[in-house]
Amino acid sequence: MKTGYRIFMLMNGFFLLFTAVFFLGAKTTSAASQTITNDVFWKDTSNNPIYSQGGGILKVGNTYYWYGVKYNGAVTYYNNPTSKNSDTSFNSVTCYSSTDLVNWTFEGNVINGATNGSTWDADWLGRLGVAYNSNTNQYVLITQYVGPEGSGIAFATSSTPTGPFSFHHVQTAITNVVNNMSGDQTVFIDDDGKAYLVFSNTSGRNNLYVAPLRSSDYLNVEPATRIYRSTIGGREGNVMFKYNGVYYFCSSDLHGWNASHSYYMTSTSLFGPYSAEQVMPGTDNDFSHVTQTGMMIPVQGSSGTTILFAGDRWSNFAGNGIGYNQWMPLSFNGTTPTLQSLSQFNLDAAAGTWSIGSANNFALNPSYEADRVSQIALAGWSTWKNTTEDPNSNVTGGHTGRWAGQQYAASAYSASRYQTVNNLPNGTYTLKVWVQSSGGQTIAQIFVKNYGGTEKNYAINSSIGSWTQITISNILVTNGSAQIGVYSVANANNWVKVDDWSLIKN
């Protein structure tokens, strides 16, 4: 079974908060502001792993409820995150609660799968969301389903947001949809409380739709309106949010479990017409922080509204790094959203504001996990070489995750792979990189330059057989940018490998 459901220029009222300590990869920075740290496995308030993939969030009063799927393969990957697996078997639908979107309390399994002692025997369950219907006073869970009850969209109900949810029925066709059924979906709730399904069709997935849930009880997907047809490939991770009166329909490329840049379209009307589809700024250089669009979380507060891009990282099934959930803020220039690909940021849910975290890694695609296949051109990185054959590539077997960067050739070569990091707040930084080296090169070095000071280098032209972290300190940035990279002047068959770059402000 293919991928599950995939549910924000650099500073938005920028200020740095320097105190820090984690939960969910989260740290307390003040009574109101909390810190979200990506690229780690998140933990709940009992210090247990958060297992929630392909889900959605429903706000009830001042409490956010987060629903998602626990797959058996996610547990396997958490315990040994060195290789992907294909265990998509359904364990349960989990529910977590929070008032700050950072510290999450496990409320229990609201649905259990057959492997976890329940009547929900599903070959596939995912891409789910929950909406509250005021007519029936029921919470309705809507999910993709393949199992003994058929193939389509399953509905389940509960009188409380924390469940359990009871199976109701499976809908096997949606009117006006190519191939009759959803291929990728999320639940969108408008300002008036009405709920909709946003999705692409099943086979091909190049048609995008919005369809209301039946208003009387939300237990049926009503006839759909097609808002877009792609002529250049399918779309998945279809999500919608509303900001300043404008609807945004976002999606990713059809890459299965792998990461993708993100697309967006806008309209002042839910059913369109929508603007031309465009790639969302900030999602190209690391393919949406190595995720696919998963869900969008409006955080409305006393001082404003932040839209969180909640990306799904299917690392258990793609082997593309650490962590399953990568949340980042969007910034806006008019109606153009830009993803702030941050490894750490502070969120004040009560105020609806965010700021860059003091330990944010400003290097993009630092672990080379964004790219799906072995290749030379890697997201966020540029290359230079003096030979016909480019010595730069990516290879499996990284320090963490699946991939690392490499320089190697069967003949003598000179080569560089580098990244120019812009929008750096001026100040002193530290660069760290994990390296291996054959040794024997005339020059092999990690470098940082063009930061407003003299170039700094760290030699790695001696034999380094196991992964070793090197450090370049006291990088005083005065011009808001820096270039980091690896450079070799090498003999035939000399090689270096690099992985897990970090460029952090002291």
pLDDT in tens, 150-163: 899 999 999 999 99
Superfamily (CATH H level) for 26-356: Glycosyl hydrolase domain; family 43 (2.115.10.20)
> Residue 273, preceding bond cis, omega within 30 degrees?
yes
Check residue 118 and give its pLDDT.
67
Residues 6 or more apart whose Cβ sits within 8 Å of residue 383: 376, 377, 390, 392, 415, 416, 417, 418
Q: How many residues does the chain have?
A: 506
pLDDT digits (tens, 9 = 90+) for 39-61: 999 999 999 999 999 999 999 99
Q: Output the pTM of the full model.
A: 0.92
Q: Residue 434: what residue type?
A: W
Looking at residue 33, its pLDDT comes to: 85
CA distances from 399 to 111, 251, 381, 432, 499 (A): 37, 31, 18, 13, 6
The residues of the chain scoring below 70 in pLDDT are 1-31, 117-119
Q: E strands, 74-149, where?
A: 90-98, 105-112, 124-133, 138-147
Using alpha carbons, select from 170, 113, 117 the residue that is nearest to residue 141.
170
Question: Rounded to an integer, what distance in angstroms lies between the CA atom of residue 343 and that of residue 421?
Answer: 14
Using CA atoms, how far apart are residues 17 and 396, in angstroms rounded to an integer? 37
Per-residue confidence (pLDDT) for residue 402, from 0 to 100: 87
Where does 382-505 sit in CATH, by number?
2.60.120.260
DSSP letter assigned to residue 287: H
64 residue type, one letter: Y
The pLDDT assigned to 23 comes to 40
- Distance, in Å, from the CA atom of 400 to the CA atom of 83, rounded to the nearest integer, reads 10
Q: Identify the pLDDT of residue 117.
A: 62
Q: What value does the CA radius of gyration of the chain take, rounded to a whole number of Å?
A: 23
CATH 2.115.10.20 spans which residues of the chain? 26-356
Report the b/e string of 212-222 with b at 16+ CB within 10 A: bbeeeebbbbe
In the chain, where does the domain assigned CATH 2.60.120.260 lie? 382-505
What pLDDT, on the 0 to 100 scale, is given for residue 428?
Answer: 98
Question: Which pLDDT does position 82 carry in this prediction?
Answer: 82
Which strands form 403-408's sheet, in the order they lie side by side?
Answer: 392-396, 403-408, 495-505, 427-437, 464-477
